[in-house]
Amino acid sequence: MEIHIVEDGATGAEVVADQFARTLREAGPRGAVLGLATGSSPVPAYTELIRRHREEGLSFAGSRAFLLDEYVGLPAGHPQSYHHFIRENFTSHVDIDDAAVVSPDGTAADPVAEAASYDRRLVEAGGVDLQILGIGSNGHIAFNEPGSSLASRTRVVGLTRSTIEDNSRYFASAADVPVRALSQGLGTILEARRIVLTATGAQKAEAVAQLAEGAISARWPATVLQLHPDVVVVVDEAAASRLELAEYYRYSRRLETENPLTPVA
């Protein structure tokens, strides 16, 4: 797990965008399979990617995207649906085919069957090349709340009171927030080939500390990422404030920059 402690959110957005650019280069003409998160955490990175597309020619042509989750009961056109959010904040501003941006159907007659179908579609697409994640103050990733199985698949989940309160800022009131969602499971997320998690603010500090340095536990779902071989965590100083090994992470990044490893001829 690479921990990048950055000065501010703008710098963090550049680091996250660098990971996207690398994945797109590696994918080449076939395009990458991108896993996209919603919420406030990834928006600065999406803004930076839009800028690079418009000003530097970064192309998403041929790529496909899968969303992490969707509220149960919200139609795709609802202003607070994640189907709408990702288009408004990212995909409609770059050159990715709208039909290639896929999300769970929150209005499916059988949400359980929809969850299983979505998991199959991820596999049929060849898996996710790069998954971006945020993290909740209680350690959830996607809508995998504390207590979620570390091997869980895409499924219907109930949202905790803290998550409903966190998300109520997007709705008229907490009473308007759906209480269930379709969410990729922790086991599903771990199948992505590369994962980038980004967080800012002191309210995320305990979750970030558990993610990087805590014991792997369903109490803090994000700790499952310690089992993944290619995870980049990008946090600002406030979100990093409870990391006991912060100086080591800073040293590691300086070493990587100043003395990069070079292949032996």
pLDDT, tens digit only, all 265 positions of the chain: 999 999 999 999 999 999 999 999 999 888 999 999 998 899 999 999 999 999 999 999 999 999 999 999 999 999 999 999 999 999 999 999 999 999 999 999 999 999 999 999 999 999 999 999 999 999 999 999 999 999 999 999 998 888 888 888 888 888 888 999 999 999 999 999 999 999 999 999 999 999 999 999 999 999 999 999 999 999 999 999 999 999 999 999 888 888 776 655 5
Report the pLDDT value the prediction gives residue 45, as an integer from 0 to 100.
Answer: 97
Polymer length of the chain: 265
Return the CATH number at 104: 3.40.50.1360
* Model pTM score: 0.93
- Terminal alpha carbon distance of the chain: 27
Q: Is residue 265 in some structural domain?
A: no
Q: In the chain, how many domains are there?
A: 1
Q: Which residues are catalytic?
A: 69, 138, 140, 145
152 domain residue, yes or no: yes
Residue 31 to residue 170: CA distance in whole angstroms: 32
Q: Is 56 exposed, middle or buried (0-12, 13-18, 19+ CB in 10 A)?
A: exposed
Dihedral pair phi/psi, residue 114, rounded to 5°: -60, -40
Structure tokens at 155: 């499924």
Q: Is residue 164 in some structural domain?
A: yes
263 belongs to a structural domain: no
Closest CA to 125 of 49, 191, 60: 191
Structural domain including 140 reads 2-258
Q: Give which of 58, 42, 33 is closest to 9, Cα–Cα.
A: 42
Report d(CA 221, CA 223) in Å as an integer: 5
Residue 48 maps to a domain: yes
Q: What is the DSSP letter of 157?
A: E
What pLDDT was estimated at residue 262?
65
191 falls within a domain: yes
